[in-house]
């Protein structure tokens, strides 16, 4: 039995991949997922994905996890980073001690600055097998069967290969690495960079399209490069490797995040002139890059490194600079 926790788009997509690979799978909703679980369990389309889950997936509401967790060999976590500690604590009190933890959650804990794998190891006893799922993998494309390549990072490569083989059986290309630190830094910092890249696009929208037909492509590319350099520095001081940052987990995931999604759209709204509060309200859900920016700067200060993209985003979020000034500073390689 495979237990996938979190009924949002990514959690549901991961449940469908495990089911597609021929594994008995349950989708366990958090306390925020009751309406989604009810819809999926009754055969209605998933609200975020627009398709129905296979009836072979056992959809369970929060409070009805016990029987599944007591019999699962793999717990797959697909919740947002701010809810991870609560979920891990709850699962750890029910699941078997030697269960495999597969983490699709991305981002640092805003209070402790811990990564998802560090949160699991700190809250669950006798954790031996943790795998971080990374790389460019938008949930709608996963369920549609679009060509996708992911990374499974673990200090136990045999366990990483087991999960990679599940993805491969579901039609997803998958590589393995032992660089958990690099994969987790990349997964978090790509949200920060996507906000900065989005700000460039938003700034271009203020001007005639006939003049800026490519929507500040030059500026977006420069910010992308600075963000990738930031990511490399931050990974290095946390024990990560440059090849991870230049691969699927880093450059790949950063690229797909900049193409769209909540963080890029949030940045675009900032660039268009909305306040952070207005932009958050327009997005209507958690923009993880906001908390990731604060965490990244705290980690960078601790390590004595400078982060160009994070400083630009923070300057706008704090009101110290207008987006055009923050972007200009970032283009010059300066910290705002």
Rounded Cα gap, residues 302 and 112, in angstroms:
13
Q: Is the dihedral of CA 316, 322, 326, 327 positive or negative?
A: positive
Range of the structural domain that residue 239 is part of: 181-331
Contacts of 170 (CB under 8 A, 6+ apart): 17, 18, 20, 21
- In terms of domains, do 153 and 188 share one? no
| Bridge partners of residue 149, in order along the sequence | 173
Residue 316: in which H helix or E strand, if any?
helix 308-317
Torsion of CA 155, 159, 165, 168, to 10 degrees: -40
| Cα angle 85, 310, 285; round to 5 | 50
Q: Residue 110 sits in a domain of what CATH number?
A: 3.40.50.720
pLDDT at 247: 97
Tell me the whole-structure pTM to 2 decimals.
0.94
- In terms of domains, do 294 and 233 share one? yes
The active-site residue out of 106, 190, 233, 325 is 190
pLDDT at 125: 72
**25-28 β-sheet, strand order:** 58-60, 25-28, 2-5, 74-77, 100-103, 130-134, 149-153, 173-177
Domain count of the fold of the chain: 2
Rounded Cα gap, residues 45 and 39, in angstroms:
7
- Whether 103 contacts 132, CB under 8 Å: yes
Residue 131 CB coordination number (10 Å) = 29
Quick check: is 223 in a domain?
Answer: yes
pLDDT at 210: 64
SS3 for 132?
strand
Q: Residue 276 sits in a domain of what CATH number?
A: 1.10.1040.10
Q: Tell me, yes or no, if 106 is annotated catalytic.
A: no
Structure tokens belonging to residue 317: 């979020």
- In terms of domains, do 26 and 73 share one? yes
Q: Which of 178, 208, 238 is the last residue of a domain?
A: 178
Quick check: is 336 in a domain?
Answer: no
- In terms of domains, do 307 and 191 share one? yes
- In terms of domains, do 148 and 234 share one? no
Instruction: Encode the chain (336 residues) as per-residue pLDDT tens digits.
Output: 999 999 999 999 999 999 999 999 999 999 999 999 999 999 999 999 999 999 999 999 999 999 999 999 999 999 988 889 999 999 988 988 789 999 999 999 989 999 999 999 998 877 779 999 999 999 999 999 999 999 999 999 999 999 999 999 999 999 999 999 999 999 999 999 999 999 999 999 888 776 667 789 999 999 999 999 999 999 999 999 999 999 999 999 999 999 878 999 999 999 999 999 999 999 988 899 999 999 999 999 999 999 999 999 999 999 999 999 999 999 998 877
Rounded Cα gap, residues 6 and 162, in angstroms:
22
- In terms of domains, do 91 and 216 share one? no
Quick check: is 307 in a domain?
Answer: yes
- In terms of domains, do 161 and 268 share one? no
Burial of 93 (0-12, 13-18, 19+ CB in 10 A): exposed
DSSP annotation of 82 reads: G
DSSP string, 280-302: HHHH-S--HHHHHHHHHHHHHHH
- In terms of domains, do 202 and 156 share one? no
């Amino acid at each position: 039995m495979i237990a996938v926790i979190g009924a949002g788009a990514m959690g549901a997509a991961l449940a469908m991949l495990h089911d597609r690979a021929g594994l008995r799978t349950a989708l366990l909703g958090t306390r925020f997922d009751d309406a989604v679980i009810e819809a999926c369990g009754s055969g209605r389309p998933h609200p975020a994905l627009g398709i129905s889950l296979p009836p072979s997936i056992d959809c369970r509401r929060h409070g009805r996890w016990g029987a599944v967790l007591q019999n699962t060999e793999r717990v797959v976590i697909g919740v947002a980073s701010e809810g991870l500690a609560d979920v891990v604590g709850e699962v750890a009190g029910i699941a078997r001690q030697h269960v495999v933890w597969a983490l699709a959650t991305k981002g640092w804990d805003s209070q402790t600055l811990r990564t998802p794998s560090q949160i699991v190891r700190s809250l669950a006893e006798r954790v031996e097998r943790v795998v971080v799922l990374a790389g460019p993998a938008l949930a709608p494309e996963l369920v549609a069967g679009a060509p996708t390549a992911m990374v499974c990072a673990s200090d136990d490569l045999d366990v990483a290969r087991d999960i990679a083989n599940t993805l491969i059986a579901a039609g997803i290309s998958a590589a393995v690495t032992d660089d958990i630190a690099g994969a987790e830094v990349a997964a978090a910092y790509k949200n920060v960079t996507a906000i900065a890249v989005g700000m460039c696009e938003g700034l271009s929208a203020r001007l005639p399209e006939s003049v800026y037909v490519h929507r500040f492509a030059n500026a977006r590319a420069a910010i992308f490069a600075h963000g990738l350099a930031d990511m490399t520095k931050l990974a290095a001081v946390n024990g990560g490797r440059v090849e991870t940052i230049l691969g699927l987990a880093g450059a790949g995931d950063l690229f797909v995040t900049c193409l769209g999604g909540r963080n890029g759209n949030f940045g675009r709204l900032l660039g268009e002139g909305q306040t952070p509060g207005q932009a958050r309200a327009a997005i209507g859900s958690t923009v993880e890059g906001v908390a990731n920016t604060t965490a990244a700067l705290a980690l960078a200060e601790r390590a004595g490194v400078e982060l160009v993209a994070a400083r630009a985003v923070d300057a706008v979020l704090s009101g110290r600079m207008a987006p055009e000034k923050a972007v200009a500073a970032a283009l010059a390689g300066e910290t705002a």
